[in-house]
Amino acid sequence: MSEALRSHPRTALADRAAEADRADPLARVRDRFDLDDGVTYLDGNSLGALPRAVPDRVAHVIRHEWGRLRIRSWTESGWWTAPERVGDRIGPIVGAAPGQIVVGDSTSVNVFRALVSAVRLAQQDGPGRAEIVVDATTFPTDGYIAGSAARMTGCRLRSASPDDLAGVLGPATAAVLVNHVDYRTGRLWDLPEITGMVHAAGARVVWDLSHSAGALPVGLDEHGVDLAVGCTYKYLNGGPGAPSYVYVRADLLSRLDQPLPGWCSHAEPFAMESDYRAATGISRARAGTPEILSLLALDAALDVWDGVEIAAVRDKSLALTGFFVDCVTALLPSGRVTCATPTGERRGSQVSLRCAGAAGVMRRLIDRGVVGDFREPDILRFGFAPLYTRFADALHAAEVLAEVLAS
Amino acid sequence: MSEALRSHPRTALADRAAEADRADPLARVRDRFDLDDGVTYLDGNSLGALPRAVPDRVAHVIRHEWGRLRIRSWTESGWWTAPERVGDRIGPIVGAAPGQIVVGDSTSVNVFRALVSAVRLAQQDGPGRAEIVVDATTFPTDGYIAGSAARMTGCRLRSASPDDLAGVLGPATAAVLVNHVDYRTGRLWDLPEITGMVHAAGARVVWDLSHSAGALPVGLDEHGVDLAVGCTYKYLNGGPGAPSYVYVRADLLSRLDQPLPGWCSHAEPFAMESDYRAATGISRARAGTPEILSLLALDAALDVWDGVEIAAVRDKSLALTGFFVDCVTALLPSGRVTCATPTGERRGSQVSLRCAGAAGVMRRLIDRGVVGDFREPDILRFGFAPLYTRFADALHAAEVLAEVLAS
């Protein structure tokens, strides 16, 4: 921090914010969201803000497609193929060519689907692989589900930090489940490096992209990821509980042996055959009838990505989170918070501050119109959704946090 | 059929329809649905018609709960507890006291959840139970998923008609999966009798209520069913792909050991503990974050049940389907169709007619505004949703079918 910043911090920061917002190539994208209520919303890493296109689209789906066409909409309105079609719209955001992503079910269900599938792929590759390694820092559901996947595939479950994988991987490893960004600290793990390590050990990797997709480049195809899952209600703004997606690399699709082979994954669903024959292509990863209203809300929400390059999103994200840390450093009473989020390229798109009494502090922030969230045990979590967060928002949040901590 | 009916069939049938519609205690319920387009909709057994309360409710959820309250809606708008709350609204329709039904995931996923749980319950009860019996006539997804459940629990899979269960059940039986109503023929299986047989063999039963819930009394509690699943987009009118539900009998909940233990099924989800501790109560059957838009559309759709008794629904259903068969018998060219649906108490709420060239016949019916559906290989399927189908609709459908077959 410069001396000038120390002496006139608010003014200098306000100037920086104004200049950064003026120069922001994504500034126009904010208008695609309904943020008209003046709230400083820094919880888009938990539930993305409402894209303006969603209400009318869902109203049309309900009143016309369901209300008028009714059952005919499964074909005439494209409901039946929506899981694959919407999956292909997510593709560019996570670096996947068409035909490898399908949307449906919750992230928990897709973690189960992907992890069991990964174990079976590894066991198809060769004998002796009977261990699932799960990221010890992971969002809890991934660990719980990994436990069930291990139990049901006859594997051992082993927990390890992504930092320690080198000492854990070996000829017994079947599959490794890693979160791309740690939900608590915002730490970004090195996807190319870890994917390479898992492959070098002859195992399969499953990435959980819930806290990275839509905030930074993932490069699934480029880095040879085997399988991935992610939620769509955070940086993809699909709405509360919007359906999850699963990615299966193209060359693995014909070998995919997934544990939830519902009728939508059948080669000919409407033949109603009593014997199961898996579909070719990514439809093979489907299960039951998709929840169309939630799925088509997501479809409409993805319109905000028109013309947006994920590299620009990452640039803005790093600038925003870096600026917020600068504001916090300059404005907050000394010693009241410590930053739990790594710097620069090892950071996702959030800033987590450890703070005594964090739960109460967050309540007071929310009362003053600055919405982040609290995570056990002492974390103030601020998400910076690059499509709609301004540098001025980052400054304002730090200012209000400083007031709350000073009061 | 009376002689008078034979000689003046249309007039006599029209008189009967008018009288039955006048006397129908459920006639007023039709106004709760948007059926203003003049279509004769007999596919409510596949996708229920749109309840009028849904569009405004979903619009409010999107614009206000998501758009304004955003993340706060998980508590302030009751999103978090909606799966259990909506489950309790389904309870009276299927004869379940509160606290035993939770809504979420697709029927396919819930069949997997329920069947694996049933096997584990049976194995907790005693050793040697390693066989899953699945209804050979079942909707295909149930059979496919049962295959996966068997594989992943180390069970054998055995297929049998519900008629033949007596010869199949034994000390090796762990769990039996039966569809309450056959999706193809409309045959209703005897739930109390089959449940008793399964229990007498020391096994656990899972009922799939997709084609019965909302059309006839089920009596889950009364008949001591162990577990049940069902979809909500047929006679429950929840909308395309509306979420499924699972029932677990109260006394089994503390022993429930389900295969998809996502974070929403944890005793303290927001403690974010790395070790899994199952919730008490039906929340234990949850997995990941529920698809809120689809779930709350279902919630609004359930308003149509206010003041409706399921016994009256069954009375009307039997009268409607019986009347339709009478119309078909009286009006159709002789020998062109045969009825695949049993009579009276063994009938669900649909009538399936076997007919040469059924696919083409159904296309022509739909072109003339009579919407049923075609099922392989030769079935014309007509669903009679008792909440909104009129006797006049049944007559009209038979008349148009007669014209199509005569042309």
Quick one: B79 and B198 in the same domain? yes
pLDDT at B206: 98
Residue B208 annotated to the active site: yes
- Please confirm, yes or no, whether A234 is among the known catalytic residues: yes
Domain containing residue A402: CATH number: 3.90.1150.10
pLDDT higher than 50, residue A359: yes
Give CA–CA dist B87/A267, Å, rounded.
33
A60/A151 same-domain check: yes
| pLDDT tens figures, B251-299 | 999 999 999 999 999 999 988 888 999 999 999 999 999 999 999 999 9
Q: Which amino acid is at B152?
A: M
Q: In what order do the strands lie in the sheet with B204-208?
A: B101-103, B245-248, B227-230, B204-208, B173-179, B131-135, B156-160
- Both B298 and B352 in one domain: the answer is no
Judge whether B157 is closer than 8 Å to chain A, CB to CB.
no
ipTM above 0.85, yes or no: yes
Last residue of a domain, one of A254, A287, A305: A305
pLDDT of residue A118: 98
**Domain end point (choices B305, B327, B352):** B305
Strand pairing report for A204-208 and A227-230? parallel
Strands (E), A343-402: 350-355, 370-371, 373-375, 379-383
Confidence at B128, pLDDT banded by 50, 70, 90: very high
Tokens of A103: 């949307």
Is there a single domain that holds both residue B316 and residue B225? Answer: no
| B371 belongs to a structural domain | yes
Residue A340 within a domain: yes
Which residues does A367 contact at the CB level (< 8 Å), separation at least 6?
A: none
The verdict on whether residue B11 carries a ligand-binding annotation is no
Residues B261 and B120 in one domain: yes
Q: Which residues of A touch B114 (CB under 8 A)?
A: none
Mean of the pLDDT values across residues A62-85?
97
Tell whether B261 lies on the interface with A, counting CB pairs under 8 A. yes
Rounded average pLDDT over A164-168: 95
- Is A39 a domain residue? no
Cβ atoms of A176 and A206 within 8 Å: the answer is: yes
Nearest to B288 among A34, A66, A108 (CB): A108
User: Cis (ω within 30 of 0) for the bond into B377?
Assistant: yes
Mean of the pLDDT values across residues A97-124?
98
Closest CA to A369 of A45, A49, A40, A42: A40
**Residue A316: active-site member:** no
H or E segment and range at residue A247:
strand A245-248
Determine the pLDDT at residue A346.
94
The three state secondary structure string of chain B is CCHHHHHCHHHHHHHHHHHHHHHCCCHHHHHHECCCCCCEECCCCCCCCCECHHHHHHHHHHHHHHHHHHHHHHHHCCCCCHHHHHHHHHHHHHCCCCCCEEECCCHHHHHHHHHHHHHHHHHHHCCCCCEEEEECCCCHHHHHHHHHHHHHHCCEEEEECHHHHHHCCCCCEEEEEEECECCCCCEECCHHHHHHHHHHCCCEEEEECCCCCCCCCCCCCCCCCCEEEECCCCCCCCCCCCCCEEEECHHHHHHCCCCCCCHHHECCHHHCCCCCCECCCHHHHCCCCCCHHHHHHHHHHHHHHCCCCHHHHHHHHHHHHHHHHHHHHHHCCCCCEEECCCCHHHECCEEEEEECCHHHHHHHHHHCCEECEEECCCEEEEECCCCCCCHHHHHHHHHHHHHHHHC
Q: How many domains does chain B have?
A: 2
Q: How many CB pairs under 8 A join A and B?
A: 256
Q: How far is B289 from chain A (nearest CA, A)?
A: 5
Quick: pLDDT tens for B190-224.
999 999 999 999 999 999 999 999 999 999 999 99
DSSP class of residue A372 equals -
Q: What is the pLDDT of residue B274?
A: 87
Catalytic status, residue A270: no
For residue A34, give the nearest of B67, B240, B262 by CB distance. B67
pLDDT given at position A329: 95
CATH number at residue A176: 3.40.640.10
CB atoms near residue B89 (< 10 Å): 18
Q: Which domain holds residue A348?
A: 3-32+308-406
pLDDT of residue A4: 45
pLDDT of B4 reads: 45
The answer to the question of residue A210 being in a domain is yes
Percent of chain B past pLDDT 90, that is, above it, reads 91
**Residues B201 and B62 placed together within one structural domain of the fold:** yes
Looking at the structure, tell me whether residues B73 and B112 fall in a common domain. yes
Position A1 confidence tier, pLDDT thresholds 50, 70, 90: very low
B37 found inside a domain: no
As given in the structure block, the two tokens for residue A358 are: 């964090």
Does residue A46 form part of some domain? no
Write down the mean pLDDT value for chain B.
95
> Within a domain: residue B402?
yes
Average pLDDT over residues B148-156: 98
For the cut 60, the answer to whether the pLDDT of residue A240 exceeds it is yes
Catalytic position from the list B33, B41, B139, B324:
B139
A219 falls within a domain:
yes
Model confidence at B1: pLDDT above 90? no
Distance from CA of B223 to the nearest CA of A (A): 28
Query: What is the mean pLDDT of the segment spanning A143-153?
Result: 97
Q: Of B305, B322, B352, which residue sits at a domain end?
A: B305
Over 60: is that where the pLDDT of A194 sits?
Answer: yes
Minimal CA separation from B119 to chain A, in Å: 13
**Known binder of ligand: residue B211?**
yes
pLDDT tens-digit readout, B356-397:
999 999 999 999 999 999 998 999 999 999 999 999 999 999
User: Quick one: B391 and B292 in the same domain?
Assistant: no
pLDDT value at B7 more than 80: no
Contact B243/A at CB under 8 A = yes
Based on the fold, state whether residues B172 and B318 are members of the same structural domain: no
Collect all residues of chain B within an 8 Å Cβ-Cβ radius of residue A62. 50, 54-55, 58, 239, 297
Q: What is the pLDDT of residue A7?
A: 53
Same domain (yes/no): A299, A375: no
Same domain flag for B287 and B195: yes
Given phi > 0 = left and psi -120 to 50 = alpha, else beta, which region is B157? beta
Average pLDDT over residues A18-43: 97
- A259-315 per-position pLDDT tens digit: 999 999 999 998 888 899 999 999 999 999 999 999 999 999 999 999 999 999 999
**pLDDT 10s digits, B112-123:** 999 999 999 999
Q: pLDDT confidence of B311, banded at 50, 70, 90?
A: very high
Query: Can you say whether residue B248 is alpha, beta or left, with left for phi > 0 and alpha for psi between -120 and 50 degrees?
Result: beta
Q: Is the pLDDT of residue B3 over 70?
A: no
Same domain flag for A398 and A271: no
Are the C-beta atoms of residues A230 and A208 closer than 8 Å to each other? Answer: yes
